[in-house]
Amino acid sequence: MKYEFNLEREYDMIAIGRACIDLNAVEYNRPMEETMTFHKYVGGSPANIAIGSSKLGLKAGFIGKLADDQHGRFIKQYMKSVGIDTSNMVVDTEGHKTGLAFTEIKSPEECSILMYRDDVADLYLSPSEVNEDYIKKAKILLVSGTALAKSPSREAVLKAVRLAKQNDVKIVFELDYRPYTWESTEETAVYYSLVAEQSNVVIGTRDEFNVMENVQVGNNEDRIRYLFNYSPDLIVIKHGVEGSYAYAKSGETFRGHAYLTKVLKTFGAGDSFASAFLYALVTGKEIDSALKYASASAAIVVSKHSSSEAMPTVEEIEQLIAEHEAKQYC
Amino acid sequence: MKYEFNLEREYDMIAIGRACIDLNAVEYNRPMEETMTFHKYVGGSPANIAIGSSKLGLKAGFIGKLADDQHGRFIKQYMKSVGIDTSNMVVDTEGHKTGLAFTEIKSPEECSILMYRDDVADLYLSPSEVNEDYIKKAKILLVSGTALAKSPSREAVLKAVRLAKQNDVKIVFELDYRPYTWESTEETAVYYSLVAEQSNVVIGTRDEFNVMENVQVGNNEDRIRYLFNYSPDLIVIKHGVEGSYAYAKSGETFRGHAYLTKVLKTFGAGDSFASAFLYALVTGKEIDSALKYASASAAIVVSKHSSSEAMPTVEEIEQLIAEHEAKQYC
Amino acid sequence: MKYEFNLEREYDMIAIGRACIDLNAVEYNRPMEETMTFHKYVGGSPANIAIGSSKLGLKAGFIGKLADDQHGRFIKQYMKSVGIDTSNMVVDTEGHKTGLAFTEIKSPEECSILMYRDDVADLYLSPSEVNEDYIKKAKILLVSGTALAKSPSREAVLKAVRLAKQNDVKIVFELDYRPYTWESTEETAVYYSLVAEQSNVVIGTRDEFNVMENVQVGNNEDRIRYLFNYSPDLIVIKHGVEGSYAYAKSGETFRGHAYLTKVLKTFGAGDSFASAFLYALVTGKEIDSALKYASASAAIVVSKHSSSEAMPTVEEIEQLIAEHEAKQYC
Amino acid sequence: MKYEFNLEREYDMIAIGRACIDLNAVEYNRPMEETMTFHKYVGGSPANIAIGSSKLGLKAGFIGKLADDQHGRFIKQYMKSVGIDTSNMVVDTEGHKTGLAFTEIKSPEECSILMYRDDVADLYLSPSEVNEDYIKKAKILLVSGTALAKSPSREAVLKAVRLAKQNDVKIVFELDYRPYTWESTEETAVYYSLVAEQSNVVIGTRDEFNVMENVQVGNNEDRIRYLFNYSPDLIVIKHGVEGSYAYAKSGETFRGHAYLTKVLKTFGAGDSFASAFLYALVTGKEIDSALKYASASAAIVVSKHSSSEAMPTVEEIEQLIAEHEAKQYC
């Protein structure tokens, strides 16, 4: 089964949400207290997905707000350098800062992030900075859940979603749940449901779907049955090392498997999964094939130091898939 | 043409939003600086509509949050005394105050309101305080636009709207636009559109529809064409003294006329209009008849001192309609 | 013992702080829930003291910030009408509201106030709105403790205090402690100590001195010994119905007695006390006589409906003192 | 002329204020956009001064609040490791973050700092966390001006100042003016004056004294004449490369000269100046000698990469002074 897009659009994907700075421990496998040097990368889920897609050859654009400082300028330069259209990345004029994520890598299993997300520039994107003329040039509007966490970014996204629907742009909702930016899980549930019901494709982990449903432990079947009453026709639920499921409204279910790899850290797995999955959909691959691209991409990124710069090429992904399938048939 | 409701429901209407205090000038026809005494009434659009409907014989309930003080207790007592179910009016525990509206009546044409709406209790209603079991007992969920102005009341309303839709409760959206509670008209437009698209009946002035559309001057036909793509099947647009229009999805348009009356002040016109209009719909009257009830109710309230206590009985309304029609045919 | 002032100054007193609205129950001796009408008066401790002093014949001025609305304009008009110079009452331009106090009089012993003090205009007086040229025209700068509760009013007062000291203006600090405007009693203690140490005269209840000392129960002797190390040379500590003490740095102690009276409510007692006490000091009366004026003034105000309009004339005060002394010698 | 201290105190100095993280560009002499790696150091003026003094052999303590995260723990560990008593460094429990300073070194003349100072933990130190028993163990309480920028840190410092005065602890006020943390220069002027008047020693640049006076260009003589009316008996005003002046209440003036050095960046000059100046005072050196220690210390720090780790030893300072004097007499 393949997924159809409006082929006449200039951009394969326009992402909306945060573009931030990751400060990754240069000396790792230790507590951050003992890390004395940090390497700077562009980060933030929708930025990573746009970067990953762009490296895979998709034409990507970005709607977001940047701090008027050295970090903001670095982000814009970097995203431009990998081929992303940055014409709709606006600069904040009210002194808000760039979001930061210091990553701590104690071991491949023990990773944590020290976040600076209070009053950051990306959450100040306003509805007036979302342009219909831009959105209607896209096949896909990629919405990151975290961009719904605060006003006015929340309203900017709700406006973008409405404009996408009115202009036949497929809405892909990556749940990207980050508890620290939300007032309560109840609030998250309200907006996650609202946007999921209006989206065409919803992608998230099982835990993120639990947040949307405001339950401790939900199950996939109940949720997809509910969402298929609304706009979604493809729902991807990820279960970590147990792999992932893609459910189509038509009734088909596809199973994806995690690729074994040498893990350096777990950051960036979801973003690399999404970028390769969307690349595969847009280039007309079957959904079960898209899940392979997604898993291979994630496996590559978790073995490397960054989330953005580590995004693989098509060749790397296809090589890993080939190696993997060769092994299976030995 | 009549409007259909689920007849098995316990409550004709449950309103959600603010219940506040009006402090109306006892000495009027002068600037407020010269008013030395104020009379206390319950106020706030959805409270007034619930009170008005209840006085007309509907069974009404209310979802809202009250300050833990003398004003909050007065509101609950008063609403109970006119027959409203107050079981879902919760008491704030964080020290928020009751909203206040000091009314200035310089002349019938020059009325203004001095508002105390910062951090008021009603805007702190949270999603967890909205109960599905309660909402599903209603024929109508009446949503007041002002309740969308701030979080967490905004999310409480969005949750109530979703629960109403899932439980076949008709959603009536009274736009009730009050600029001072909103960050920007852009923000208002986002939420007004979102809720209007999910409502069954939308009621507002032409100016309020302009805010929803985020335009200076919109026109009725464009807007109804747009909204009829979504859930609404009945849209009422009020044009002040020029009367009002009710548009049905089926294609019919109904015209309502304002009733001439001795005006004391303009406050309360919209709320009395809505309560009588909904009374008429629920009791199975034709839509053009409902517009007459609405206009008559408004005419009565603007001739009196308060917005809530002045709400008329069915007899008063029907008498005014009869007198009016008698005059027309002389 | 008399208190000396710089006699060449144009104003007997300039007060700094809040001028607000009292909404006093017209129907009283009942819970406020059953009060349906409220009478409007000017209120707020330093405003009341300025009004009281002005009615007694002192030349008073006021430094404060008023809301740009009907309540703000009423306050200015009223204060002007009783002879106060309002040239340094500035108008807020950022939409802040006038503080409100709804008074509940259940019985003479059970009075409470429902306050609206969040983000009120008076607390937005800024240091730039405090003028040295004005302050140096005064014999007394009357500082109200509540004006220290929030920035920027806090800094405006600290600046006024410095300017008064530099220009040989006597600083009278009325503690006027209102818990609801402060973050913590610790914070209050810091600023009350800071300003008390720089003041010439400090007036407060025993409870208010406890807050300054950040103790549960302090004693007068310890506190006056401490404060006499700094600027104060006259300290008045009020013990309610047990009367009051005035301590002079020179070592003398004066005892004041409460006057028995028919009490309507307790509001306004402190403000009427202070205004008559200062009147007596400025007009060269002995301190023990000043305490009598103060007690008589308080007794008159608590027997009446308002705090400001009820402020007595010199004749009324002196008549009460005379009657009282006549009784004592019978 | 020497400066006298209470010799029986356990700590030579207790500093109060912020302890933060500096992230210094590893690749420098370029815009920060092109710096990809940052080295982590402890930073913040009072922390740097305590570290500098401790390295010079003084017994130092610190009163401050740290974030409950990896950065907070690193700061505490580092300060302990250089010999500072950290028993009064409390841990924030409300999720506030550690302040950050990313340094950009375009050239020795063009340095700038990208600050993360919104809602940082150090500004949440509260008065209840300032202990009299600790303060009275010190010869010197070092107050950093930035700690006055926000409540409750502001009140914590005001309380510490009062306790120091009551316990015969010399108060040294390092103005350390950072515009971005203040609401207005007017507000700064109020608190800088208040604390300067209560301090024994005041140290700052000419620009910082202008802020205290709330003037564009003030002059040293006017200001010292004013401050000598109050508590100060030693005032140090720094004029950058033109050197510095130390004014004693006794009437003497001392001139200090800047030491020529190879400058890497300008950060840390003031902190290293203060730590060596205080070291010299405490160890009984003459004031003109103290100015030499201060200038030499500053010259060493600006030639190195960090502000804290680069703090020199006594030997390094004395060697530089000796070299410098040798050159002068050639």
Q: Please give the class, per CATH, of domain D11-18+45-94+122-328.
A: alpha beta
Tens of pLDDT, residues A232-241: 999 999 998 8
Is chain C in touch with chain D: ≥3 Cβ pairs within 8 A? yes
pLDDT single digits (tens) D160-193: 999 999 999 999 999 999 999 999 999 999 999 9
Distances (CA, A) of D233 to A92, A218, D2, D203: 47, 71, 12, 12
Reported confidence tier of residue D23, pLDDT bands at 50, 70, 90? very high
Q: Tell me the pLDDT tens digit for each residue of C14-41.
A: 999 999 999 999 998 999 999 999 999 9
pLDDT in tens, C165-181: 999 999 999 999 999 99
Contact between B301 and B272 (Cβ < 8 Å): yes
Subunits with 3+ C-beta pairs closer than 8 A to C: B, D
Q: Where are the alpha helices (DSSP H) in D215-268?
A: 220-227
Strands A234-238 vs A244-248: parallel, antiparallel or unpaired: antiparallel
pLDDT at res. A305: 86
Of D151, D158, D193, the CB nearest to C194: D158
Closest of B290, B282, B305 to residue B43, by C-alpha: B305
Ranking A159-173, A187-201, C257-271 by mean pLDDT, the lowest is: C257-271
Of C128, C186, C191, the CB nearest to D186: C128
Per-residue CA distances from C320 to B192, C202, C312, C330 (Å)? 64, 26, 11, 16
Query: How many C-alpha atoms does B269 have within 13 Å on its Cβ side?
Result: 23
pLDDT at B160: 98
Contacts of D155 (CB under 8 A, 6+ apart): C186, C187, C190, C191, D126, D127
Which amino acid, residue B30?
Answer: R
CA distance, residue B154 to nearest chain A CA (Å) = 10
Q: Per-residue pLDDT averaged across C108-131, rounded?
A: 94
Beta bridge partners of A60: A13
Cβ proximity of C112 and C118 under 8 Å: no
pLDDT at residue number C234: 98
- pLDDT bucket at C61, cuts 50 / 70 / 90: very high
Element (H, E) at C317: helix C314-329
Rounded CA-CA distance A246/A274 in Å is 12
Q: Indicate the residue of B26, B73, B97 with minimum beta-carbon distance to C116.
A: B97
Shortest distance, CA D25 to any CA of chain A (angstroms): 10
Look at residues A143, A161, A139 and name the one whose alpha carbon lies nearest to residue A281.
A139
Please tell me the least confidently modeled range out of A103-112, A181-190, B206-215, D72-81.
A103-112
Residues of chain B with C-beta less than 8 angstroms from the C-beta of C39: 36-37
Rounded percentage of chain D residues whose pLDDT exceeds 70: 99
- pLDDT band of D329, cuts 50, 70, 90: low
Would you place residue C7 in the very low, low, confident or very high pLDDT band (cuts 50, 70, 90)? Answer: confident
How close, in Å, is residue A165 to chain B by CA atoms?
Answer: 12
CA A282/CA D155 separation, integer angstroms: 59
Q: What is the pLDDT of residues A245-271, one digit of tens each?
A: 999 999 999 999 998 888 888 889 999
Could you tell me how many residues make up chain B?
330
Interface probe for D, chosen from A40, A80, A119, A305 (most Cβ of D below 10 Å), is A40
At C329 the pLDDT is 64
Contact yes or no for A31 and D70 at CB 8 A: yes
Q: Measure the CA–CA gap between B153 and A209, rounded to whole angstroms.
A: 24
- Taking only the tens place, the pLDDT of each residue in A116-170 is 999 999 999 999 999 999 999 999 999 999 999 999 999 999 999 999 999 999 9
By Cβ distance, the residue of B36, B70, B118 closest to C32 is B70
Check if C193 contacts D (Cβ < 8 Å): yes
Res A130: pLDDT: 98
Report the residue from A128, A190, A194 with minimal CB separation from B186: A128
Model confidence, pTM:
0.95
Does the CB of B168 have a partner CB in chain C at under 8 Å?
A: no
Q: Cβ of A194 and B128 within 8 Å?
A: no
Q: Which residues of A touch D69 (CB under 8 A)?
A: 114
Q: Which helix (H) or strand (E) holds A325?
A: helix A314-329
* pLDDT at residue number B136: 97
Inter-residue contact D231 to D223 (CB < 8 Å): no
Quick one: pLDDT at residue A265? 87
- The residue-averaged pLDDT of A89-96 equals 97
Closest residue by Cα to residue C185 from C145, C155, C222, C144: C145
Chain C 135-164, residues with CB within 8 Å of chain D CB atoms: 151-152, 155, 158-159, 162
Instruction: Give the separation between CA A268 and CA A204, rounded to whole angstroms.
Output: 13
Higher pLDDT, D236 or D266: D236
> Which residue among D158, D183, D193 places its CB closest to the CB of C190?
D158
Which residue in B9, B61, B4, B7 sits closest to B281, CA to CA?
B4
Confidence of residue C68 (pLDDT cuts 50, 70, 90): very high
- Other beta carbons within 10 angstroms of residue D1's beta carbon come to 12
- List pLDDT tens digits, range A310-327: 999 999 999 999 998 887
Q: Tell me, yes or no, if C115 comes closer than 8 A to chain D by beta carbon.
A: no
- In the three-class reduction of DSSP (H, G, I as helix; E, B as strand; rest coil), residue C249 is classed as coil
> How many Cβ atoms are within 10 Å of B217's Cβ, its own excluded?
8
The DSSP letter of residue A77 is H
As a whole number, mean pLDDT of residues D62-75 equals 98
- Name chain D contacts of C193, Cβ cutoff 8 Å: 162
Pairwise CA distance, residues D7 & C184, whole Å: 37
For A193-209, write each residue's pLDDT tens digit: 999 999 999 999 999 99
Residue C157 confidence class, pLDDT cut points 50, 70, 90: very high
Q: Percentage of chain A surpassing pLDDT 90?
A: 88
Q: How far is B135 from chain A (nearest CA, A)?
A: 17
Q: Is the peptide bond before D46 cis (omega within 30 degrees of 0)?
A: no
Amino acid C77 reads Q
- CA A92, A96, A97: angle at the middle one, nearest 5? 110
pLDDT of the residue at B2: 84
Q: How many helices (DSSP H) and strands (DSSP E) are in chain C?
A: 10, 13
CA-wise closest residue to B188 among B199, B197, B179 = B179
Q: Which of D113, D58, D108 is nearest to D311 (CA)?
A: D58
Contact C159 D126 (CB under 8 A): no
The chain B residue lying nearest C103, using CA atoms, is: B70
Give domain limits for chain B.
11-18+45-94+122-328
What are C52's two structure tokens? 């009281």
CB D68 within 8 A of CB D288: no
Q: Do D190 and C155 touch (CB under 8 A)?
A: yes
Q: What is the pLDDT of residues A35-54, one digit of tens each?
A: 999 999 999 999 999 999 99
Sorting pLDDT into bands at 50, 70 and 90, what band is D204?
Answer: very high
User: For the purposes of burial, counting CB atoms within 10 Å of the CB of C191, is it exposed (0-12), middle (13-18) or buried (19 or more)?
Assistant: buried
- Touch C-A: 3+ C-beta pairs under 8 A: no
CA of D116: how far to CAs of C20, C323, D96, D146, in Å? 39, 69, 12, 14
pLDDT for D221: 95
Using DSSP's 3-state secondary structure scheme, residue A164 falls into helix
- Closest-CA distance of chain D to residue A115, Å: 9
**Judged by CB atoms within 8 Å, which residues 246-275 of D form the interface with A?**
none
Which backbone phi and psi does D123 adopt, to 5 degrees?
-80, 0
- From chain C, pick out residues whose CB is under 8 angstroms from the CB of B39: 36-37
Tokens of C221: 């002797």
Strands B37-43 and A201-205: unpaired
Question: What does the pLDDT look like over D103-117, one tens digit per residue?
Answer: 998 988 888 899 999
C-alpha span between B179 and B170 (Å, rounded): 27
D106 CB-near residues (< 8 Å, 6+ apart): D29, D30, D31, D112
Mean pLDDT value across residues D196-213: 97
Take residue B68 and report the two structure tokens written for it.
């833990």
Indicate the residue of D26, D71, D114 with minimum beta-carbon distance to A70: D114
Question: By the 8 A CB rule, do D10 and D135 touch?
Answer: no
User: Least CA distance to C128: which residue of chain D?
Assistant: D186
C267: confidence class by pLDDT, cuts 50, 70, 90:
confident
Would you list the DSSP string of A258-273? PPP---S-STTHHHHH
Cβ count within 10 A of residue C307? 29
Alpha helices in chain B (DSSP H): 45-55, 70-81, 132-135, 153-166, 185-198, 206-213, 220-227, 269-282, 287-302, 314-329
The counts of H helices and E strands in chain D are: 10, 13
With a cut of 80, say whether residue A329 has pLDDT above it.
no
Full pLDDT tens readout for chain B, 330 residues: 788 898 899 999 999 999 999 999 999 899 999 999 999 999 999 999 999 999 999 999 999 999 999 999 999 999 999 999 999 999 999 999 999 999 998 988 888 999 999 999 999 999 999 999 999 999 999 999 999 999 999 999 999 999 999 999 999 999 999 999 999 999 999 999 999 999 999 999 999 999 999 999 999 999 999 999 999 999 999 998 899 999 999 999 999 999 888 888 888 999 999 999 999 999 999 999 999 999 999 999 999 988 899 999 999 999 999 998 887 765
Q: Do C36 and B40 touch (CB under 8 A)?
A: yes
Quickly tell me which residue has 């690399």 as its tokens.
A272
- Strands ordered across the beta sheet of A138-144: A85-91, A60-66, A11-16, A138-144, A170-174, A201-205, A234-238, A244-248, A253-256
Query: What is the maximal distance between C-alpha atoms in chain C?
Result: 60
Chain D residues whose CB is inside 8 A of the A37 CB are: 26, 37-40
Amino acid C36: pLDDT:
97
Where in B83-209 does DSSP place strands (E)?
89-91, 100-105, 111-116, 138-144, 170-174, 201-205
Query: How confident is the model at residue C307, as a pLDDT?
Result: 87
Whole-number percent of chain A with pLDDT over 70 = 99
Confirm or reject contact between A194 and chain B (CB < 8 A).
Answer: yes
Report CB contact under 8 Å: C159, D190: yes
- Classify the C-alpha dihedral D16-D18-D21-D23 as positive or negative: negative
With CA atoms as reference, the chain B residue closest to C30 would be: B70
Residue A77 has pLDDT above 70, yes or no: yes
Of residues B160, B176, B169, the one with CA closest to residue B140: B169
